[in-house]
Amino acid sequence: MARNFNKRNLTTGDIAKLCGVNFRTVIRWIQRGHLKAFQLPGRGDNRVQVADFISFLKENNMPIPEELIPDVQRVLIVEGEEKVSAAMEKAFRGVGFDTQVATDGFQAGTLAGSFDPGVMIVDVGMKGVDGPQAIKVIRSDARLGLARVIALTPPTTSRKKRDELLAAGADEIFDRTVKATELAKSVAGKTGFA
């Protein structure tokens, strides 16, 4: 299977290959309630959502196959200010990243599901965004939670608020006034994508 594994639902055969087990083992996991699945109408074949499979792997301390880890070259920029988001998009594309921009939380949720980013840049100072809660929502999604999350904060953000963002699951915090080119180079260096 290719690195950019973009299926949303897996067959028992897919899971067997990813885990290096017989497909009957996967069926037993499903039958015993260890692995959440649904059945297709008609034949009754099992399907497992990728997020449920990743949750199963984490609960059982099993490694997550590389095919399921989001591609680090995909960056989702969540920024409500058009001028800032355009500068970031240009900077990240300039160092070779594939980018998408979301201008609000709803659009970010929609894009995150289809774009499958490996890195999320989130302006936690956007109107209507509760920074720590937004980070917790990202981290609670089994698949999206694997992404590197970088919070952009207003320059006046207190140390306490920054600590809350880190506790919620932010990997890194940058002052929102950081130059887009510096941010893109930093992310490229830390993700090994340069």
Tell me, what's the pLDDT at 6? 54
Long-range Cβ contacts of 134-142 (<8 Å, 24+ apart):
134/105, 135/165, 135/168, 135/169, 135/170, 136/168, 136/169, 138/112, 138/169, 139/168, 139/169, 141/51, 141/112, 142/50, 142/51, 142/52, 142/54, 142/55, 142/58
Position with higher pLDDT, 83 vs 191: 83
Domain boundaries 74-191, corresponding CATH code: 3.40.50.2300
pLDDT at position 42 is 83
What's the burial of 171, exposed, middle or buried (CB within 10 Å: 0-12/13-18/19+)? Answer: middle
The token pair that represents 10 in the structure block: 């897996």
pLDDT at 8 over 80: no
Alpha carbon 108 to its chain's center: 11
- Six token digits for residue 45: 């074949």
Q: What is residue 55's predicted lDDT score, i.e. its pLDDT?
A: 84
Q: What is 9-68's CATH number?
A: 1.10.1660
Q: Hey, which of 60-69, 104-113, 125-134, 176-185 has the most confident mean pLDDT?
A: 176-185
190 against 54, higher pLDDT: 54
Average pLDDT over every residue of 163-171 = 93
- Smallest CA-to-CA distance from 174 within 61, 79, 56, 35 is with 79
pLDDT in the model for residue 16: 94
Task: Read off the pLDDT of each residue in 68-91 and give the average, rounded to a whole number.
Answer: 87
The predicted-structure confidence for 84-139, as pLDDT tens digits, reads as follows 999 999 999 998 888 999 988 788 888 887 788 889 999 988 877 778 888 888 88
pLDDT at position 5 is 52
C-alpha span between 189 and 71 (Å, rounded) = 15
Adjacent-strand bridge partners of 76: 100, 120
Q: Where are the domains of the chain?
A: 9-68, 74-191
